[in-house]
């Protein structure tokens, strides 16, 4: 355990070394000023170093094994057979290969939603978007819409692994929807929607999603981990773009409808007065 932590700490130090060199190189060689609160900045880098190292160790000890274990348990033939009996599936339904994994789809949806809601980077972006927009963009609304997009994307990606479909058809269809949405979505929300797809693939979501995909591809019969195991993160990045723009479109629709309803009332009252 200690040796693993030390090795991870050394590797993390090498990973963040270029960042330190670039930042301090520009500060001293180009700007030629000592940064304010230099001791605080150096201390912050040390906290980042230790935090990343501990996080990576936690991934290896917990999140990666947990995601793979859940995939193995949910796709175990004994568990699937018992689930069939509990659900009282008919013989025709039992013959549907993809339908046997409905617990996988439910788990994928819930884990996608919950990990995204807890994503620190998404919380930070939502707060900044709320501040910049003057409260027009709701922090809770943005987080929920992104989480729903990730949940739907991971669920669809899990279905793709189960049935073995090529991933490119799903991605092409998804981006066609995105392109169509950008023509009718509110212009102010489009850049935020694209950024929302990126912030979801961060510290909390990626480890569990990647482990889930690899676990499914290893346990579902006929699947290749190298071909089918990867790609869930692409779904988790794509579908939040769709869901955020859909959220903005729905909000704009209801706002316009509310304005229309309020504008009709004075006309009706004036008509009654004239009578």
pLDDT in tens, 22-58: 988 888 888 888 878 888 888 888 898 888 888 888 8
C-alpha angle 183-185-191 in degrees, rounded to nearest 5:
95
Structure tokens at 192: 């935020």
**CB of 13 within 8 A of CB of 49?**
yes
92-110 average pLDDT score: 75
Report d(CA 69, CA 222) in Å as an integer.
Answer: 19
Give residue 85's pLDDT: 66
Backbone angles phi, psi at 231, to 5 degrees: 125, -20
| Cβ density class 197-224: b for 16+ within 10 Å, e for less | bebbbeebbbbbbbbbbbbbbbbbeebe
Helical H segments across 225-275, by residue range: 225-228, 232-274
What mean pLDDT do residues 80-98 have?
60
CA proximity to 162, closest of 111, 99, 207, 73: 99
Q: Is residue 206 pLDDT above 70, yes or no?
A: yes
Sequence-ordered list of residues with C-beta below 8 angstroms from that of 190, at least 6 positions apart, any chain: 182, 245
For residue 77, what pLDDT is reported? 78
Most confident among 5-9, 181-185, 210-214 (mean pLDDT):
181-185
- Residue 3: pLDDT band with limits 50, 70, 90: confident
Cβ atoms of 103 and 74 closer than 8 Å: yes
What percent of the chain has a predicted confidence (pLDDT) above 70?
88
Residue 155 has pLDDT above 90, yes or no: yes
pLDDT for the residue numbered 180: 95
**Average pLDDT taken over every residue of the chain:** 83
Residue 87's pLDDT band, with cuts at 50, 70 and 90, is: low
* This prediction's pTM: 0.77
Is the pLDDT confidence value at 84 over 80?
no
Residues 6+ apart with CB under 8 A from 89: 99
Q: Who contacts 131 (Cβ-Cβ below 8 Å, separation ≥6)?
A: none
Residue 93 has pLDDT above 50, yes or no: no
For the record, the structure tokens of 184 come out as 């009718």
Q: Considering the chain, what percentage of its residues have pLDDT values greater than 90? A: 21
- Decide if 122 contacts 172 (C-beta within 8 A): no
Query: Is pLDDT of 16 > 90?
Result: no
SS3 for 79? helix
What pLDDT is stored for residue 113 in this prediction?
92
* Cβ–Cβ under 8 Å, residues 216 and 104: yes
Query: Which is nearest to 212 in space by CA: 97, 99, 120, 103?
Result: 103
- Greatest extent of the chain over all pairs of C-alpha atoms, in Å: 89
pLDDT at 214: 86
């Amino acid at each position: 355990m200690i040796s693993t932590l030390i090795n991870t700490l050394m590797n993390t130090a090498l990973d963040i070394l270029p960042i330190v060199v670039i930042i301090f190189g520009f500060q001293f060689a180009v700007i030629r000023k000592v940064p304010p609160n230099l001791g605080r900045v150096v201390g912050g880098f040390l906290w980042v170093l230790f935090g990343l190292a501990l996080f990576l160790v936690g991934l290896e000890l917990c999140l990666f094994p947990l995601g793979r274990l859940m995939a193995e348990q949910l796709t175990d033939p004994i568990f699937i057979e018992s689930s069939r009996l509990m659900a009282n599936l008919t013989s025709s339904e039992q013959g549907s290969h993809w339908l046997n994994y409905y617990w996988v789809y439910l788990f994928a949806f819930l884990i996608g939603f919950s990990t995204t809601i807890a994503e620190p980077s998404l919380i930070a972006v939502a707060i900044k978007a709320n501040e910049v927009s003057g409260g027009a963009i709701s922090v809770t609304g943005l987080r929920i819409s992104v989480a729903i997009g990730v949940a739907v994307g991971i669920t669809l990606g899990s279905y793709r692994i189960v049935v073995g479909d090529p991933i490119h058809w799903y991605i092409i269809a998804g981006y066609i929807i995105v392109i169509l949405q950008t023509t009718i979505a509110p212009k102010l929300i489009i850049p935020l929607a694209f950024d929302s797809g990126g912030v979801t693939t961060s510290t909390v979501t990626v480890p569990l999603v990647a482990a889930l995909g690899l676990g499914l591809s290893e346990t579902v019969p006929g699947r290749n981990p190298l071909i089918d195991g990867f790609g869930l993160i692409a779904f988790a990045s794509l579908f939040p773009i769709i869901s955020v723009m859909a959220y903005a479109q729905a909000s704009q629709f209801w706002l316009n409808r509310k304005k229309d309803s309020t504008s009709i009332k004075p006309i009706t009252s004036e008509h009654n007065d004239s009578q």
